[in-house]
Amino acid sequence: MNKIFLVAQREFLTRVQKKTFLLSTIGLPLIIFLFYGMIIYFSVKTTDNFRIAVADKANIFNGKIASKDNEVLFEFVKSDTAALQNAIDQKTYEAYLYVPATFTLDGKDSLRFRSGKAVGLMTREKIQSSINKALEEKRLANFNITRAQLDSLQQEKEYIQYSSAGGKTENDAKVGVSYAVGMISGFMIYIILFIYGTMVMRGVMEEKVSRIAEVIISSVKPFQLMMGKIFGIGAVGLVQFIIWIILVFGLQFAIAMLFPSVVESMQGQPIQPAGMQAAQAVKSSGALAGVMSGLNSINFPFIIGCFIFYFIGGYLLYSSLFAAVGSAVNEDPQDAQSLLLPITMPIIFAIVIMMKAVNDPNSTLAIFGSLFPLTSPIVMMARVAHGVPEGVTYFQLILSVVFLILGFLGTTWVAAKIYRTGILMYGKKITWKEMWKWAWKKN
């Protein structure tokens, strides 16, 4: 056990002390959050008001056109088109809206809009929306219909109340958030298995090709060398995730301090005059409240605990297989591609099952995928996001844990026997048929 620890320590320190580790672990997240911060900055940055002079000769708007924000301002004036054009030339206004006396709501004549410069697409949509809403208010008044009555008729109501087998009421927000959490968790483990499994395989290949493995095996058993590499590289991955989690929470606090208007908009406080129209639109539509309600219904401590277990279990199971492939490969890296197919196929198959499991977590295929050790790390995360007992029962979860542990022990035993023979085998192209003979070869 002490030798396994020494090999793991060497693998861990060798990778952590490299500049590439610091760049990928700290530099990359910082760059991503820097771009994220720049997007928020330019979203909340104060912009100049687009002032529009309105000459309402038909008295259609009754001296008022409401705007959702302060970027577009409508100011009513009593001027003709010549005076309005002169105001634009003098840059008193950016544009003018002329309503001829012959304009009516039935479509007779049209409004005349002119600007002194090109109008952006977003600004054009805001102007059009404000004018259309004002005209709609006028039409409603002609039919003696209030805005509140119209909104009440158009409001969508949920007449069906969904409940799960556990008796808990479910809404669309909870189902949507569970879907997203399951997809993200499953894909993260999918990426982890490929990245760190391949890292183990390349580490074994490098030591074999450079003949360093022959020197190490003179003092360390092949099984100890293999397990030391697996634990060492796994520790590197675990450290990376811990650093990423710390960076995510730390940078979120930093963004909240640098952009308090964003926090105020998310907490339901008034948004500062200049910014975050997108956040205000989400808030007014009720979508943000639904998402927050869905997030509150998710048992994140339970999901995080499951994620850590299936991350470790899945990594240990597949990394032993990747190590076995690495030990059998010689100088030609293309040999690894042909040997990797039986290992990568279950991972890809797990993604296919996961797409089914996030929509129907209790289907036969989803249950099978969450119990089968080669697919359970990915598929089970899609099911546990829906909760217990809605997405998965405790019995199925315990059974999946037991099968994954047994699967790890079985693959480690097989991989160790392949590793012991393959690490010292040179000059011969190895196939899976021959590796299978090594696995069942008696000592």
3-state secondary structure the chain: CHHHHHHHHHHHHHHHCCHHHHHHHHHHHHHHHHHHHHHHHHHHCCCCCEEEEEEECCCCCCCCCCCCCCCEEEEECCCCHHHHHHHHHCCCCCEEEEECCCCCCCCCCCCEEEECCCCCHHHHHHHHHHHHHHHHHHHHHHCCCCHHHHHHHHCCCCCCCEECCCCCEECHHHHHHHHHHHHHHHHHHHHHHHHHHHHHHHHHHHHHHCCHHHHHHCCCCHHHHHHHHHHHHHHHHHHHHHHHHHHHHHHHHHHHHHCHHHHHHHCCCCCCCCCCHHHHHHHHHCHHHHHHHHHHCCCHHHHHHHHHHHHHHHHHHHHHHHHHHHHHCCCCCHHHHHHHHHHHHHHHHHHHHHHHHCCCCCCHHHHHHHHCCCCHHHHHHHHHCCCCCCCCCHHHHHHHHHHHHHHHHHHHHHHHHHHHHHCCCCCCCCCHHHHHHHHCCCC
Domain assignment present for residue 160? The answer is no
Domain assignment present for residue 141? The answer is yes
Question: Both 263 and 322 in a single domain?
Answer: yes
Domain boundary among the residues 154, 187, 203 is at 154
Domain assignment present for residue 321? The answer is yes
Question: Both 360 and 288 in a single domain?
Answer: yes
394-422 vs 300-328: helix crossing angle, rounded to 10: 20
- At 318-349, the pLDDT tens digits run 988 888 888 887 766 677 777 888 888 999 99
What's the token pair of residue 230? 């697996």
Question: Both 203 and 252 in a single domain?
Answer: yes
Question: Both 200 and 225 in a single domain?
Answer: yes
CATH number of the structural domain spanning residue 129 = 3.40.190.10
Domain assignment present for residue 345? The answer is yes
Residue by residue, pLDDT tens for the chain (443 residues) are 678 888 888 888 888 888 878 777 777 777 877 777 777 666 655 456 788 889 988 888 888 888 776 678 888 988 888 888 888 888 888 899 988 888 887 766 788 888 887 777 778 888 888 888 888 888 877 777 766 766 665 666 555 544 455 455 455 556 777 778 888 888 888 888 888 888 888 888 877 777 777 777 777 777 788 888 888 888 887 888 788 777 777 766 766 666 555 545 444 444 333 334 444 444 444 444 555 555 566 677 888 888 889 988 998 899 888 888 888 877 666 777 778 888 889 999 999 999 888 888 888 999 999 999 999 999 998 888 887 777 788 899 999 999 999 998 888 888 888 887 777 777 677 777 888 787 777 65
Distance CA 57, CA 33 (A): 52
Question: Both 287 and 342 in a single domain?
Answer: yes
Domain assignment present for residue 122? The answer is yes
Domain assignment present for residue 143? The answer is yes
Question: Both 130 and 213 in a single domain?
Answer: no
Question: Both 144 and 107 in a single domain?
Answer: yes
Domain boundary among the residues 97, 119, 154 is at 154
Question: Both 224 and 139 in a single domain?
Answer: no
User: Residues in the chain, how many?
Assistant: 443
Question: Both 24 and 87 in a single domain?
Answer: no
Question: Both 83 and 139 in a single domain?
Answer: yes
Domain boundary among the residues 106, 128, 154 is at 154
With contact defined as beta carbons under 8 Å apart, do 175 and 385 qualify? Answer: no
Domain assignment present for residue 193? The answer is yes
Question: Both 100 and 234 in a single domain?
Answer: no
Query: What is the tally of structural domains in the chain?
Result: 2
Question: Both 250 and 113 in a single domain?
Answer: no
Domain assignment present for residue 357? The answer is yes
Model pLDDT, residue 155: 63
Full-prediction pTM beyond 0.75? no
65 is in which domain, residue-wise?
A: 50-154
